Amino acid sequence: MPVVSIPEIVNIPNIKFLGVFLDQFMSWDVHVEYVNKKLNCSFYALVQLKRTLSIKTLINVYYSLVYCHLTYNVTLWGNSTKSDTVFIKQKRIIRLIFNIPFGHTCKQVFINNNILPLPSIYILKSILYIKHNLHSFKRNSDLHAYSTRNANQFVTVGHKLSKFEKSTDYVGVRLYNHLPNEVRSLHPVKFKRVVKSILCKHAFYSVEEYLATRLLL
């Protein structure tokens, strides 16, 4: 009989797929660490550039070296347990660019310069994900015939795992439903512009802060 060779199964601690790291425990800790390393490199590059460049130019460098890492697949990792470490490094970079002393809040600087904090970036990308996939979600009006104030809001899926509450499908629907009706009805191009404007105006530091704020145009 022929001998069948069974390849050895190698256990690897994490894998990189489409630019995102996922570890063996199905968490985003490895990817968050990867983003933090990128931001550290960007910080030290900005330290050198700050000697010769204006704040306006440094902001452009920020979008080239920092913003790209904050936005890439942020809907996957932006609400994870350790994402706060990335936000801390983002604020460190903002303090460097705008000469903000350590311990002073950056929030007004974010607002004045239309720069989104990491939590607001996560909120924006999650809302846009829902907007682009409306066909995948059910509205309250799909479940009953009653005409209610929340008839056009989307239904959050029932679940038994607390981990699901951090998923894009669950959090994204909550974030989307919180928008004013007149915003949710906008064409996608204008919708994105208006939602980003709202987020820049408030510079939310958390999902909870966003959900606790009454949003006005």
> HSE on the CB side for 36, CA within 13 Å?
15
The residue segments making up the domain with residue 122 are 116-217
Is 60 exceeded by the pLDDT of residue 151?
A: no
Q: 25 and 106 share a domain?
A: yes
2 lies in some domain:
no
Rounded to 10 deg, the angle between the 55-62 and 83-98 helix axes is 160
57 lies in some domain:
yes
4 lies in some domain:
no
172 lies in some domain:
yes
DSSP letter at 25 equals T
Residue pLDDT, tens place only, 41-76: 999 999 999 999 999 999 999 999 999 999 999 999
Q: 187 and 161 share a domain?
A: yes
Q: 109 and 132 share a domain?
A: no
CB atoms within 10 A of CB 132: 12
Q: 163 and 185 share a domain?
A: yes
Domain-terminating residue out of 83, 113, 143: 113
Distance CA 61, CA 83 (A): 22
152 lies in some domain:
yes
206 lies in some domain:
yes
Distance CA 217, CA 194 (A): 8
Provide the number of structural domains found in the chain: 2
Distance CA 156, CA 163 (A): 14
Residue pLDDT, tens place only, 158-214: 555 565 567 788 899 999 999 999 999 999 999 999 999 999 999 999 999 999 999
Distance CA 183, CA 179 (A): 6
DSSP 32-43: HHHHHHHHHHHH
19 lies in some domain:
yes
Q: What per-residue confidence (pLDDT) applies to 52?
A: 97
| Residue in 36, 42, 15, 126 with CA at minimum distance from that of residue 84 | 36
- Percent of the chain clearing pLDDT 90 (strictly above): 67
Q: 65 and 108 share a domain?
A: yes
Distance CA 201, CA 40 (A): 27
Q: What per-residue confidence (pLDDT) applies to 27?
A: 76
Q: 102 and 36 share a domain?
A: yes
Domain-terminating residue out of 95, 113, 131: 113
Q: 57 and 140 share a domain?
A: no
Q: 60 and 96 share a domain?
A: yes
- Percent of the chain clearing pLDDT 70 (strictly above): 77
Q: What per-residue confidence (pLDDT) applies to 136?
A: 78
Q: What per-residue confidence (pLDDT) applies to 217?
A: 72
Q: What per-residue confidence (pLDDT) applies to 167?
A: 79
Domain-terminating residue out of 113, 142, 159: 113
Q: What per-residue confidence (pLDDT) applies to 163?
A: 59
Q: 20 and 98 share a domain?
A: yes
Per the CB < 8 A criterion, the answer to whether 161 and 144 are in contact is no
44 lies in some domain:
yes
pTM for the model stands at 0.85
